[in-house]
Chains A and B, each alone.
Chain A
Amino acid sequence: MEKILLKNIDKPEAYKLDNYVTNGGYVAVQKALKMEPDQIIQTVKDSNLRGRGGAGFPAGLKWSFIPKDPTIQKYLCCNADEGEPGTFKDRAIMDKDPHLLLEGMMITCYAIGASVGYVYIRGEFEYGAAKLEDAITEAYEKGYLGSNIFGSDFSLDLYVHRGAGAYICGEETALLESLEGGRGQPRKKPPFPALAGLYAKPTVINNVETLGCIPAIIEKGPEWFAAIGPEKSPGTRICGVSGHVKKPGLYELPMGVPLRELIYDHCGGMRGSKPIKAVIPGGVSAPMLIEADLDTPMDFDSMAAKGTMLGSSAVMVMEEGTCMVKVAYITSRFFSHESCGKCTPCREGTSWQTKVLHRMEHGEGRPGDVELLESLCDNIFGRTFCPLGDGAVMALRGALKHFREEFVYHVEHKKCMVGSDDE
């Protein structure tokens, strides 16, 4: 299969502008600059590209919400916060092929009429940020950025904004808040960023992988893209696989490849002999699946039908023997650590959840703890300000749904039901 996003990843020094051009880069943007902005938006709509940041919102549709008034400043923000546990796909593009992202951003900015774009990259990605900044410098030097890029009348400035350690900044309005120099707490919607985003101006926020698809769509046409994978979630997807598989790593595959194929054909199966106990298909916010679900195709709708999410397609594979109380504790601890503190149920609820799970995990469970956890889930879910709190619930509910008896066992026996490797 032809790769779109990782096609240059293994080529030597692919991050250099010259090499990117040699590999066929910066052709699409020149083609785009000769098109009408609306035509580009229509092309992306026709390609049926859905956002790769998690929610799967159609990219072309999102762009079309931006007001057309040329006197209003508009912005593009690339979401490179990559914080969803299990996810490491965007980093690869930024480290190895930053010009792909830049080209995607150039086309997008032109389409929505933005003269300024930011890459909001998570603070820990020192290397990636440096690579991006170098790439931007190279592009300016070549006249690919700045005034009248590629000789067109379109001018564009791109900047890198570095985060500093906060998962919530991946949420788009928190990202904007952070870009404006504040604490990354989500903003109320409406107004949606498309009308009042960065500095209260119309703003599009797209994930790195989403933007990385744009050059190919422009170059090869929407029909070509739409023909890859399932009709409603076309294109390829970078699956980041971690956990107990033989060959963890990134795999760019057409949407809709079943989990089983990903794990057994591409990742070489499980590292030991143990069977699969659970798989998280889209980052820790996505409820886990079990062995019986492995034939589910990896696309937005099929995962939703299974009560989980494709999310960031970060696949975490757990073998038989993994303690699910511990998994639940770790994920809950994560959400409570990352809760921004704005809303009551998430701030207090995830912390309470974590305290209970911590006790359970350390042999101090009390009768009623499992029911308490379930009740806390009910009291948090759907009542938080942003989806982070929901994520914490979905992760825990997933574990409770399939492995409730392990939790009960922990309470009753003050120890693990499974002899985990680590114990």
Chain B
Amino acid sequence: MLTEKTLEKIQQIQKNYHSKKSAVMGALMAVQRDSGNNLTREDMEAVAEILEVNPVEVQAVAGFYTMYNWKKPVGRHHIEICWNLSCSLMGAEHLISHMEKKLGITLGETTADGMFTLSTAECLGSCGTAPMMQVGDDYYENLTVEKVDKILADLRASS
């Protein structure tokens, strides 16, 4: 079930466009935020119903873009570390293996306590401050092993 707030947000988004279907992306994102950063089958059905499109069109959108988490759920903090060229040149791979060890998971996995999911991302547009990663909405740049450790600790503490 979508919350009032999300419904309102979707209504708002719809107003931006000439066609309801244009609001699918925004609606999915709004719903995902509302459901702990994940999209369920019911979420997609709800969006389809509101925007009067077939559910498969909603899933087609969800399945095309990488930011929708519908395949398998992600943890509370979704760490996406950039492994494109600029970040790789600056040592992204070290950081990835460091985090894998530290969190005890491999890429694509979620820690047993559901706290962290570790994924890679293609260039996030922060190449001048490489290496970098995104956790949720936030960018963390010019990373080092020490910085990463601190970020993970802070995130853990904050939740």
Q: Do chains A and B touch in the complex (CB under 8 A)?
A: yes
Known contacts A199-B19, A338-B122; is A249 also within 8 Å of B28 by CB?
no
A330 at the interface (CB under 8 A from B): yes
Known contacts A181-B24, A181-B25; is A122 also within 8 Å of B65 by CB?
no
Stretch at the interface among A83-91, A217-225, A409-417: A83-91
B60 at the interface (CB under 8 A from A): yes
A184 at the interface (CB under 8 A from B): yes
Q: Which residue of A159, A181, A244 has the most chain B CB atoms within 10 A of its CB atom? A: A181
A354 at the interface (CB under 8 A from B): no
B134 at the interface (CB under 8 A from A): yes
Known contacts A123-B67, A242-B128, A334-B84; is A164 also within 8 Å of B25 by CB?
yes
Chain A residue at minimum C-beta to C-beta distance from B132: A88
B89 at the interface (CB under 8 A from A): yes
Per-residue CB contact flags for chain B residues 1-31 toward chain A (1 = under 8 Å, else 0) read 0000000000000001111111111101100
B88 at the interface (CB under 8 A from A): yes
Chain B residue at minimum C-beta to C-beta distance from A422: B93
Q: Which of A84, A162, A280, A422 interacts with B29 by CB under 8 Å?
A: A162
Minimal beta-carbon separation of B28 from chain A (angstroms): 7
Contacts of A159 in B (CB 8 A): 16-17
Contacts of A167 in B (CB 8 A): 122-123
Minimal beta-carbon separation of A370 from chain B (angstroms): 21
Contacts of B16 in A (CB 8 A): 159, 161
A368 at the interface (CB under 8 A from B): no
Stretch at the interface among A97-105, A314-322, A381-389: A314-322
A18 at the interface (CB under 8 A from B): no
| Contact A330 B126, beta carbon cutoff 8 Å | no
Q: Which of A91, A180, A318 interacts with B22 by CB under 8 Å?
A: A180
Known contacts A85-B122, A127-B139, A164-B66; is A314 also within 8 Å of B127 by CB?
yes
Contacts of B129 in A (CB 8 A): 248-249
Minimal beta-carbon separation of A203 from chain B (angstroms): 12
Distance A130 CA – B58 CA, assembled complex (angstroms) = 25
Contacts of A83 in B (CB 8 A): 122-123, 125
Distance A90 CA – B139 CA, assembled complex (angstroms) = 16
B85 at the interface (CB under 8 A from A): yes
Per-residue CB contact flags for chain B residues 85-99 toward chain A (1 = under 8 Å, else 0) read 110111101100000
Chain B residue at minimum C-beta to C-beta distance from A160: B16
| Contact B65 A165, beta carbon cutoff 8 Å | yes
Distance A181 CA – B28 CA, assembled complex (angstroms) = 11
Distance A241 CA – B126 CA, assembled complex (angstroms) = 10
Distance A322 CA – B89 CA, assembled complex (angstroms) = 8
Q: Considering only CB atoms and an 8 Å cut-off, how many residues of chain B contact the other chain?
A: 48
Minimal beta-carbon separation of A275 from chain B (angstroms): 15
| Contact A240 B128, beta carbon cutoff 8 Å | yes
| Contact B25 A242, beta carbon cutoff 8 Å | no
| Contact A182 B128, beta carbon cutoff 8 Å | no
| Contact B89 A318, beta carbon cutoff 8 Å | yes
Per-residue CB contact flags for chain B residues 58-91 toward chain A (1 = under 8 Å, else 0) read 0011011111100000000000000111101111
Minimal beta-carbon separation of A97 from chain B (angstroms): 16
Distance A318 CA – B128 CA, assembled complex (angstroms) = 13
B124 at the interface (CB under 8 A from A): yes
Q: Which of B64, B84, B126, B134 interacts with A183 by CB under 8 Å?
A: B64
Contacts of A162 in B (CB 8 A): 25-26, 29
Distance A86 CA – B64 CA, assembled complex (angstroms) = 23
Within 8 A of B (CB), among A279-300: 280, 284
Minimal beta-carbon separation of B137 from chain A (angstroms): 4
B130 at the interface (CB under 8 A from A): yes
Minimal beta-carbon separation of A140 from chain B (angstroms): 13
Per-residue CB contact flags for chain A residues 158-184 toward chain B (1 = under 8 Å, else 0) read 010111111100000000001111111
Minimal beta-carbon separation of A181 from chain B (angstroms): 4
Q: Which residue of B21, B26, B94, B123 has the most chain A CB atoms within 10 A of its CB atom? A: B123
Contacts of B88 in A (CB 8 A): 326, 330, 422
Within 8 A of B (CB), among A225-262: 240-244, 248-250
| Contact A242 B86, beta carbon cutoff 8 Å | yes
Contacts of A126 in B (CB 8 A): 137-138
Within 8 A of A (CB), among B107-156: 121-130, 134, 137-139
A125 at the interface (CB under 8 A from B): yes
Per-residue CB contact flags for chain A residues 263-285 toward chain B (1 = under 8 Å, else 0) read 00000000000000000100010
Distance A300 CA – B8 CA, assembled complex (angstroms) = 47
| Contact A85 B89, beta carbon cutoff 8 Å | no
Q: Which 6 A-B pairs have the closest CB atoms?
A: A165-B66, A164-B65, A181-B21, A242-B127, A85-B123, A242-B86
Q: List 9 A-B contacts (CB under 8 A).
A: A87-B127, A122-B125, A162-B25, A166-B66, A181-B23, A241-B128, A242-B127, A242-B130, A422-B91
A residues apposed to B, CB below 8 Å: 82-88, 90-91, 122-127, 159, 161-167, 178-184, 199, 240-244, 248-250, 280, 284, 314, 316, 318, 322, 326-327, 330-331, 334, 337-338, 340, 421-422
* A-B contact sample (15 more), CB < 8 A, given A83-B123, A161-B26: A83-B122, A85-B85, A87-B125, A87-B127, A124-B67, A125-B125, A163-B25, A164-B65, A178-B25, A181-B24, A183-B60, A183-B61, A330-B84, A337-B122, A422-B91
